[in-house]
């Protein structure tokens, strides 16, 4: 579908690929689809206007360590910006455990045991700490919401596929824009709803605080 998506105006893409090992991929996604994902990425490479091609991997202790250098090599060989994301308590099964969090700094140390990295200065508000390989071949990034929260610079809000406006991944409340739309709300009325919700945007997640309560939806229901 890449050609059609680019023709329709797609300029950047994020692909979730938590492991480059076929059996492990099938285990965590419950489908043996790694070859299709890799074929899709190769197709994306053909369209230079489709950049960056980001490959996002969620790191889980005891699962991801052995994949770190393979992903680093992918980032060096291909025009992909590989991003490691710390495991957050947004899993549908509610099985997240703090001990499962493999931190970004631990992953970086594994990469640097073979490939030295240098930070990329980036003044935009972003979630990833970006690094280039010291020899100039590609880049990797680390999104460390558990070990190094960056909520104070967060400017993200989200609209779910079912029309609910969320002001934080960890929100326990939502603003129902779908019902307002279906009731014939004007653009100005929708804007007002969005403004009011955004004024109440959460200061931070509370993963590291006592009494942390899970979000009202899991990540797959929010949509990333
Ligand atoms: S405020 Fe919420 S959405 Fe923003 S970085 Fe913090 S946890 Fe993530």
Residues 98, 65 share a domain: yes
State the pLDDT at residue 124.
74
Quote the ligand 1 centre to 202 CA distance (angstroms): 8
- Tell me which residue range forms the domain holding 190: 153-222
Residues 145 and 103: their CA atoms lie apart, in Å, by 9
Q: Are residues 209 and 116 in the same domain?
A: no
Looking at the fold, whether 185 and 127 belong to one and the same domain comes out as no
Same domain for 26 and 129, yes or no, is yes
* Residue among 112, 222, 102, 203 at smallest CA distance from 149: 203
Going from the Cα of 223 to the center of ligand 1, the distance in angstroms, rounded, reads: 14
User: What is the tens place of the pLDDT at every residue in 41-53?
Assistant: 999 999 999 999 9
To test the pocket of ligand 1, the residue of 90, 150, 155, 169 to mutate (highest count of ligand atoms within 8 Å of its CB) is 169
Domain termination site, one of 148, 180, 214: 148
Give residue-wise pLDDT tens across range 123-162: 776 789 999 999 988 999 999 999 999 999 999 999 999 9
Q: pLDDT for 11-60, tens place per residue?
A: 999 999 999 999 999 999 999 999 999 999 999 999 999 999 999 999 99
Tell me what the mean pLDDT of segment 61-85 comes to.
96
Q: What percent of the chain is predicted at pLDDT more than 90?
A: 94
- The residue from 115, 148, 181 where one domain ends is 148
Cis peptide before 52 (omega within 30 of 0): yes
Structural domain count, the chain: 2
pLDDT of residue 123: 74
């Amino acid at each position: 579908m890449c050609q059609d998506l680019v023709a329709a105006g797609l300029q950047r893409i994020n692909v979730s690929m938590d492991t480059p090992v076929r059996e492990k991929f099938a285990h965590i996604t419950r489908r043996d689809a790694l070859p299709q994902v890799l074929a899709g990425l190769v197709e994306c490479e053909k369209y230079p206007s489709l950049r960056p091609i980001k490959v996002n991997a969620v790191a889980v202790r005891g699962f991801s360590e052995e994949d770190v250098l393979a992903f680093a090599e992918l980032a060096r060989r291909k025009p992909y910006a590989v991003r490691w994301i710390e495991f957050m308590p947004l899993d549908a099964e509610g099985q997240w455990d703090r001990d499962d969090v493999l931190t970004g700094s631990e992953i970086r140390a594994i990469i640097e045991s073979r490939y030295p990295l240098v930070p990329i200065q980036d003044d935009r508000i972003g979630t990833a700490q970006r690094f280039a390989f010291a020899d100039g071949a590609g880049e990797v990034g680390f999104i460390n919401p558990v070990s190094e929260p960056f909520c104070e610079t967060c400017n993200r809000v989200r609209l779910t596929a079912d029309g609910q406006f969320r002001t934080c991944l960890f929100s326990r409340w939502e603003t129902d824009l779908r019902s307002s739309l279906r009731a014939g709300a004007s653009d100005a009325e929708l804007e007002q709803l969005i403004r009011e919700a955004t004024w109440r945007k959460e200061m931070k997640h509370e993963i590291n605080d006592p009494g942390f309560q899970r979000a009202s939806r899991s990540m797959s229901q929010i949509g990333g």
